[in-house]
Amino acid sequence: MNTIENLTEYLKNSVSPFHMVGHSIDLLDQAGFIPLSSKESWTLEKGKGYYCRTFSGELFAFKIGRDADLSKGVHIGGAHTDWPCLRVKPNGTFNKKGYLQINAEIYGGPILSTFFDRPLSIAGRLALKSEDLLNPDVVYVDLKKPVLTIPNLAIHMSRSEENAGGLDKQTHLMPLCAMVNETLNQDDYLLRYIAGSTGVKYEDILDFELYIYNPEEPQLVGLNGEFLSSPRLDNATSACALIYGLMDSSPSDRISLAALFDNEEIGSRTKQGADSQMLSIILEKIWASLGRDRISFLSDIQGSMILSVDVGHGFHPNYPASYDITTYPKLGSGFVIKMDSNQKYTWDCEAVGGLMNLCQTFGIPYQRCVKRTGQAGGGTIGSPLSAQVPVKTVDIGVPLLAMHSARELMGTADQISLTDAVTRFFTA
């Protein structure tokens, strides 16, 4: 398959952070990577690839060059596995005048209006009773079909409401899932339905993390198919590029590592987020398994470099006033190097210059991007990553339109350039 076919398949399988990690592991298994447990000591060999799933939505995969010189450090690519969406609250179903609805909450910062009038599905994980009392069994679930929808209010009835301030996040974002009748057991109906669909006992379910997602498939758009329209481009594009880039890379004298973190959309400050010590722990375990002590590790790591890979804001021709007047990325013109003097995007001229040199050497298209002065914009995992592992760091990604929508838009050529750049970075 080519790069866009790989991305399309990756998007279809990444219906929750847990499923994105699971699909990445399937790809790594096929490529001969060896699984590791973070709870055990490691015995690693040069010339081989490994991966470690530390938490359900977090994954570290790495290749050790046959002639790896640890004093050269490690080339790290990081991305996040989550996206803005709705999640199911505990006691997730309720009856309102014969309609059975889902009690949902907002995760991150989605464009809420884009989740209306769409078929929606549910995916995530369940915690089940086990004999090990504090370590429940975990089952991943995906209903794989539209079971929910959030209908808009007809315009004839909504004009006064719009003028009064718009959506009420508690009352207007409750999806419909069924109509109540005599045979419908309303008591925790959603979990009973999921248990029946998954083959687990309802009585064994202790807790859950369930994401409401858009099950529509990716689709090429444009007279020449130059655009890709899809849910979850932010940030499956980046994770996909890192996994395929690592698998296709050939590091000879260093280690290359892809890190996928959860919870970026809510600040990254969690055990499975980029603003934790887990990356440092993984790196120390690698160094120790290859015979280096902590003092050597602290010295060696200074030769490292990080690519923080996350989507950027592409130029929208209908809203030109929202962009910088000279430095803005266009869809289809290459991946974006994101720069911000206030370090919302992490960079310095030495790190950016090195990446530009690599791209120019191999003919990889890229663009630079800065925000319009005075515009806040968003952040990435770059700043927390470079604080936890203080080495040269650059923020890059594909430019998008409709970022944080239930369906986003990108240029197909940009995924190709991003994957090429990541592969070359992991090989350099």
Tell me the pLDDT tens digit for each residue of 224-239: 999 999 999 999 999 9
Using the predicted structure, report yes or no on whether residue 10 has a pLDDT greater than 70.
yes
The reported pLDDT for the residue numbered 297 is 93
Among 126-140, 173-187, 200-214, 404-418, where is mean pLDDT lowest? 173-187
pTM over 0.85: yes
pLDDT digits (tens, 9 = 90+) for 95-121: 888 899 999 999 999 999 999 999 999
- Provide the pLDDT confidence category of residue 164 given band limits of 50, 70 and 90: very low
The stretch 8-33 carries a mean pLDDT of 98
> Quick check: helix, strand or coil at residue 355?
helix
Peptide bond into 235 cis (omega under 30): yes
Amino acid (one-letter) located at 378: G
Is the per-residue pLDDT at 362 higher than 60? yes
CB 51 within 8 A of CB 25: yes
- Integer Cα distance of 184 and 206 in angstroms: 22
Q: Quick check: 161 pLDDT over 60?
A: no
CA distances from 108 to 57, 166, 264 (A): 16, 19, 9
Q: How confident is the model at residue 186 (pLDDT cuts 50, 70, 90)?
A: low
- Alpha carbons 347 and 326: distance in angstroms, whole number: 19
* Order of all β-strands in the sheet with 227-230: 219-221, 227-230, 408-411, 399-401, 312-313
Residue 160 has pLDDT above 60, yes or no: no
- Residue range 331-347: mean pLDDT, rounded: 94
pLDDT above 90 covers a percentage of the chain that reads 89
Token pair of 56, please?
A: 């359900």
Cβ pair 404, 110 in contact under 8 A: yes
Task: State mean pLDDT over 15-28.
Answer: 98
Each residue's pLDDT tens digit, 253-283: 999 999 999 999 999 999 999 999 999 999 9
User: Which pLDDT score, from 0 to 100, does residue 182 have?
Assistant: 64
Residue 195 dihedral angles phi and psi, to the nearest 5°: -60, -45
Rounded to whole angstroms, the Cα distance separating 270 from 273 reads 5
pLDDT averaged over the chain? 94
Alpha-carbon separation of residue 350 from 6, 33, 290, 353, 391 (angstroms): 32, 33, 30, 5, 11
Q: Coil, helix or strand for 346? A: coil
Span 243-251, average pLDDT: 97
Helices 3-13/233-248 angle, 10° precision: 120
Residues whose CB is less than 8 angstroms from the CB of residue 362 and which lie 6 or more positions away in sequence, other chains included: 420, 424
Residue with the bigger pLDDT between 34 and 376: it is 34
Of the pLDDT bands very low, low, confident and very high (cuts 50, 70, 90), residue 163 is very low
- The single-letter DSSP state of residue 28 is H
Name the band, by pLDDT with cuts 50, 70 and 90, for residue 425: very high
CB 197 within 8 A of CB 147: no
The DSSP output letter for 144 is -
Q: Where are the beta strands (DSSP E) in 263-353?
A: 305-309, 312-313, 335-338
Contact, 78 vs 261, CB < 8 A?
Answer: yes
| pLDDT at residue number 103 | 95
The residue type at 179: M
Asked if pLDDT for residue 249 goes beyond 60, the answer is: yes
Q: Can you tell me which residue has the tokens 């914009």?
A: 377
Q: pLDDT band at 165, cuts 50/70/90?
A: low
CA–CA separation, 333 vs 338, rounded Å? 14
Give the model's pLDDT for residue 54. 97
Q: E strands within 327-384?
A: 335-338, 366-369
Strand partners, 138: 127
Alpha carbon 415 to chain centroid, angstroms: 15
The answer to whether residue 157 scores a pLDDT higher than 70 is yes
Give percent of the chain with pLDDT exceeding 70. 97
Q: What is the pLDDT of residues 38-65, one digit of tens each?
A: 999 999 999 999 999 999 999 999 999 9
